[in-house]
Structure 1
């Protein structure tokens, strides 16, 4: 893969910002403040890292103007260095783009409607009546089930599985190993065992959604599971049947969301949160990592449900006291009652 390099002037024009230094100076990668060398760009996003500036050897520094005097090299002067880094990371990304066309080893149904600009990699399988929009890339080993639709400029990394009847909007990115549209966990109990409830809904993914690797989003039992525009989902997340995730929400790794729950807009769900089914979560809600959500949230805000880490011996003592709380509460209530009758 050819190494990309960009001049200081080009980067300044890309960010639409002021610059100081040698216009033609080129860098080919982004690195941390401590490790950056002459061919690297780096950035100062937090004041606590300013102590590294005097020793920084980066070729280009992204920095606020007020903090730039400590560094004597090439500089890009911006209001928000972290946001500038986020924008620059796109052009420095090293990924082989799948060129338009269908790899000879791919299997594509005759009834599929595929824009000429779509790239389909080795051993991909495209089912009957699939529709794929302009500029979309399908990596090696992906499966797109019958009747599914992918919008423009989507990217499926290797070995993504999309079941039948799944809809993706525009600019959706799905990382390797993820499954969209698998059956929801629906079974009716009988004396002779479990009877499967066939899942008749689908999955609808909005625009500008990114889904991490090895995540599963189940199809709905009757209505669709819906992921609205701008949602970002980390690795190893399970979203059950009939769930709706509101626009702009962010879900970190190892989260589990049970069926028919609605998550509001612009929510942030930290790692390993477990959310009960058939509840509603208000817009702009934040859950700390490991929180167990057993009931709906009607007011936005930050919520947590587990104690912070503590030394083991202290944790053991507190765990014993926790089991004694019910008895202690009953004794306290009795004492209060006795005191009130005197």
Structure 2
């Protein structure tokens, strides 16, 4: 088991990799606790939940909205939760996003922590303090930055994941490697067969590395003030459009967005064609690049709703050599024109 501490100002957030999730009982207050989960997680683990009121939502991105948030806030009121209360999110990325945002705005902020049950949330969604809900087809447009007190990542829980959910999370791990660490990318490449079988020991090491990398970025630029944290959005500009329009799972959509960003980066001469081909081949190995079926006009329209845009310009993340990335402020039309040219070549 490894503890990774995220220090931001006078606040700390501890991420426990390889800890048995039931140890959460030792981290909770004696009263004022409410558990937020989804129906699938409750059916698998609910009998072992801590003794507290449980509020369960329908699994999936469609629950990540203001209507659900209002219903959950009423549930907290009905449970008698006051400003001394604590929200424990037990679930994947959607549950962690909603639990964190709910706790951040309920009575102007109460304490919260996570038991992260999916690979997506263990390597990305539950770590870093971004909490948000969607409005219509626009992802994460209402949200805040606020760190959980703790995140427990028990790799044994990944064994109950459906295969597509598992690979969806793997896309975010590959993203972290592509933009931040050539050694992590090499490890994934070398161990891809064992990763396919969700080997717990291997995953514990890979997840710990990915979380440390993300934590280093978050501690340097928690709220994307300097622009350093923006590199974590690699693949997300096009990926969020694909996810919103097609309903594709987040990791698959981000993988498609990474492939597009690699093509655009290659067109701009930022790295070697061989490296970009290796990245896309690895994504293909895990079947992470389904046909999204969207044309350039759809992307152009939807990119103008991106929360990273300023006027008609977007802070777009480009891949350099594996392990490096950079953010450039680019006009939406310029991005789309390059995208069109990559489709014709």
Fold similarity call, TM over 0.5: no
Higher relative contact order (CA 8 A, sep 6+): 2
Into which bin does the TM-score normalised by the smaller protein fall? under 0.3
TM-score normalised according to structure 2 size: 0.26
- Structure with greater proportional strand content: 1
- Structure with greater proportional helix content: 2
Give the greater-gyration-radius structure (CA).
Answer: 1
TM-score normalised according to structure 1 size: 0.26
